[in-house]
Structure 1
Amino acid sequence: MPVETVDTLVVGAGQAGVAMSEHLSRCGIPHLVLERHRIAERWRTARWDSLVANGPAWHDRFPGMDFPTDPDAFVGKEGVAEYFESYARMIAAPIRCGVAVREVRRLPRRPGFRVETSQGPIEALSVVAATGAFQNPVIPPLVPETPGLTQIHSSAYRNPGQLAEGAVLVVGAGSSGGQIADELLRAGRTVYLSVGPHDRPPRAYRGRDFCWWLGVLGKWDAATPGPGAEHVTIAVSGARGGETVDFRRLAARGMLLVGRTETCRDGVLTFAPDLVDNLARGDANYLSVLDEADAYVARNGLDLPEDPEARVLGPDSPCVTDPIRSLDLARAGVSTIIWATGFTSDYGWLAVDAFDERGRPRHQRGVSAEPGIYFLGLPWQSRRGSSFIWGVWHDAAYVADHIATQRRYLAYHEAAGREAAA
């Protein structure tokens, strides 16, 4: 039985895979996109029910299609998934759903790779891993299994109604943890939120969304994170029309803030004495964006309204002035811990020499150290904006151009060989 062949195989049909398909088509490169579930599956099934995009519709999109909504709206997760399905139809992306990729290995003594899939082998000259870097949820092995205590990752959280009665501890105060904790508080739950180091940009300032400010200030184009900022948590939200994440305001509404979760012994959690410092760091980041925005307005003579209230920081609640250093989970009535502690990548299916000693992709702007292997959808792949919808689209253009260039070299080699033989 003949083996199916394709020039370029793209693994994953989320935002990265759809963007990759568009640019490969523009370059005239025959390709196939394999997706083990549905297009943009993670937007549908790995997010909580009320999730909306963290950027407004005018910003978090591909250049070729607008969202069918108010440009300043924050689109819900189903709307985002439908957007990518519509986009894939518009560009006639050759996507094959329901096919899992099990292994990719280099072909011996000739260019290309053999790809083992759930529907048989495929050979491809190039393979693009468009699965991103967030496959495996991380739950630190800190709290042992305990009767009456449920532990889930934020990716498994859907809504307050799924949780058992009782208080909830949310560990991690980035965009996911902060929004989930806020939703639970609004549902009448007692909520503890473990806050680590973070940045918290303003949702909007002087009439412009922070996505606009980061754009005009050149921050989306930062090529690498600053020193010590490789894994900084960002707290931002598009919920309820978009609002600045303000932990002091959450505490004033009754949320109990604690520092980083450190240890657990005999059902008692201990927290680092860093809550005040972490809040101060977030405030400093917030105010620095306001300062840069004001300087930009003055320098360019923009007619944007003053916003003095944005600089007013609320008072500290008792949980900040007298931090909780330990928590007896049973005594506090905590029935659920939600770990908003991020993900790790899973490239176990890529049996190629493209990773460092820690299993991270070795690449330059998505071009792998293993010729013919490419990555797309990685944080900081080429710039700060790479993790965002619009950013992955631009990264895909670079990867597609590199594939096209390599094809031209190979075509020259083959043509020169034929001329020599003649």
Structure 2
Amino acid sequence: MNTIDQKTKKQTRHLDAVVVGAGQAGLAAAYHLKRQGANVLVVDGNARTGDNWRSHWDSLRLYSPAVHDDLPGLPFPADPHSFPTRDEVADYLETYAATFDLPVRHSSPVRRLSRENDAFVVECPDVRYTADNVIVATGTFGRSPKIPAFGADLDPQIVQLHSSEYRNPDQLRPGRVLVVGASHSGADIAIEVVRSHETVLCGRDTGALPVRPGTRRFRLVFPLVWQMWGLVQTIRTPIGRRMKAQVRAHGAPLLRVTSADLTAAGVERVTERMIGAQGGNPVVGTQQLPGIANVIWCTGSRRDDSWIDLPVIGDDGWPREERGVVPTMPGLYFTGVAFQYSFRSMLIGGAGADAEYVVNHLLSRRSERDALPAPAA
């Protein structure tokens, strides 16, 4: 039912559920909700489904093979052993939404999420939604780049790009490149950039997969790794809880490029961290690095939940959720969060199961509410 809010003069529409974000997690949640007959809408700030993936660097490929990159109900249309490209993933998400006729409203960023009386209020630029439930599916880590404050002390002639801004080496000046942050994105970018620029990669060693992706051995071992990621490295086990803290704070292990690959390609690997700038030059550990013409910050992103006007974000910047359920705010959920349940949670292949758990909780809550006796007259 559509009404006009007298205070804001915006059109208001009430729904069973609003999903914020049309990435893999949001689409998987909408799929499960629609199958159960819920009146659901997905709102997304991008102009097109998949645009979040299209904004990554040009050569990005998934770190898991296509056989493990499905969303519920639709296999990934690629060789099962291939590693889909950025654009293949974006197109798959667009096809997924169209295949299941998922209700996605594009170019509709959410400005504020609040609560009035018994309903959540989702404020978009030109419309106001009220909902019994809201599922926040805005991404694994968020889109607010983490760049150290001392980046401002670098020589202004140095080109500085965050990994979210990097597309390809054509953006760089001639001269040495310093890639800051040695998780999988830093390693992938460093091994690409070194083909045209002398490259230094600095940051702690995050570890790596024990087998090389794409090899015969990888095909034999990866199904076991996948099971370990989903059954052992979870919030239910001590090893999983330790890994959750590590992944959220420092990033994931190298998933495609190994230390040996970096060395063979000519990348200078420094395991100390960049700690500041001196005379306009980067300082890594105790060493000043002169002659750096470009810095690529692969230092991750922080969640930006400032638009959520509800007391559900912890002091660590992460939502206070338990497997996506917010105990203190019934009807509010998060999905697509790093280590929501397991290591798989930040991969496309883990989005469907996490979303299904959240939706099942939402539906059971609705069933319990509907079963309550009507208030006495």
- The TM-score normalised by the length of structure 2 is 0.88
Quick one: distance in 2 between partners of 1:17 and 1:227?
Answer: 27
In the TM superposition, 1:369-388 aligns within 5 A as 369-388=328-347
Q: 1:253: which partner in 2?
A: 265
**Cα distance, 1:228 vs structure 2:** 6.8
Alignment of 1:391 with 2:374, yes or no, is no
Quick one: distance in 2 between partners of 1:114 and 1:254?
Answer: 53
3-state SS, counterpart of residue 129 of structure 2: strand
**Cα distance, 1:207 vs structure 2:** 2.5
List per-residue Cα deviations over 1:6-34 (Å, max 9, x = no partner).
11000000101100101111222111000
3-state SS, counterpart of residue 313 of structure 2: coil
Q: 1:192: which partner in 2?
A: 200
Aligned partner (choices 97, 111, 116) of residue 102 of structure 1: 111
List per-residue Cα deviations over 1:69-108 (Å, max 9, x = no partner).
2111111111101101111111111111111111111113
Confirm or deny: 8 A CA contact 1:235 1:245 kept in the other structure: no
Q: 1:161: which partner in 2?
A: 170
CA RMSD of aligned residues (A): 1.9
Quick one: distance in 2 between partners of 1:354 and 1:214?
Answer: 33
**Cα distance, 1:226 vs structure 2:** 4.7
Aligned partner (choices 32, 41, 50) of residue 51 of structure 2: 41
**Cα distance, 1:405 vs structure 2:** 1.1
Alignment of 1:118 with 2:125, yes or no, is yes
**Cα distance, 1:124 vs structure 2:** 0.6
Aligned partner (choices 214, 223, 240) of residue 225 of structure 2: 214
Quick one: distance in 2 between partners of 1:131 and 1:249?
Answer: 33
Aligned partner (choices 268, 289, 296) of residue 328 of structure 1: 289
Q: 1:417: which partner in 2?
A: 374
The 1:195–1:248 alpha-carbon spacing in structure 2 relative to 1, beyond 3 Å, is: farther
**Cα distance, 1:215 vs structure 2:** 2.5
3-state SS, counterpart of residue 58 of structure 1: helix
Quick one: distance in 2 between partners of 1:228 and 1:86?
Answer: 34
Alignment of 1:223 with 2:240, yes or no, is no
3-state SS, counterpart of residue 42 of structure 2: strand
Quick one: distance in 1 between partners of 2:244 and 2:371?
Answer: 44
Quick one: distance in 2 between partners of 1:99 and 1:252?
Answer: 46
Quick one: distance in 2 between partners of 1:404 and 1:167?
Answer: 55
**Cα distance, 1:411 vs structure 2:** 1.5
Confirm or deny: 8 A CA contact 1:57 1:75 kept in the other structure: yes
In the TM superposition, 1:350-369 aligns within 5 A as 350-368=308-326, 369=328
Quick one: distance in 2 between partners of 1:249 and 1:400?
Answer: 42
Q: Where in structure 1 are there 5+ consecutive unaligned residues?
A: 238-243, 273-324
Q: 1:142: which partner in 2?
A: 150
Q: 2:7: which partner in 1?
A: none
Quick one: distance in 2 between partners of 1:12 and 1:213?
Answer: 31
Q: Where in structure 2 are there 5+ consecutive unaligned residues?
A: 5-11
Q: Could you say which structure has the larger radius of gyration?
A: 1
Alignment of 1:342 with 2:303, yes or no, is no
Confirm or deny: 8 A CA contact 1:59 1:211 kept in the other structure: no
The 1:256–1:70 alpha-carbon spacing in structure 2 relative to 1, beyond 3 Å, is: same
Aligned partner (choices 84, 87, 91) of residue 100 of structure 2: 91
The 1:96–1:226 alpha-carbon spacing in structure 2 relative to 1, beyond 3 Å, is: closer
Q: 1:234: which partner in 2?
A: 252
3-state SS, counterpart of residue 229 of structure 2: coil
**Cα distance, 1:136 vs structure 2:** 0.6
User: What is the one-letter code of the residue matched to 2:347?
Assistant: F
Confirm or deny: 8 A CA contact 2:65 2:83 kept in the other structure: yes
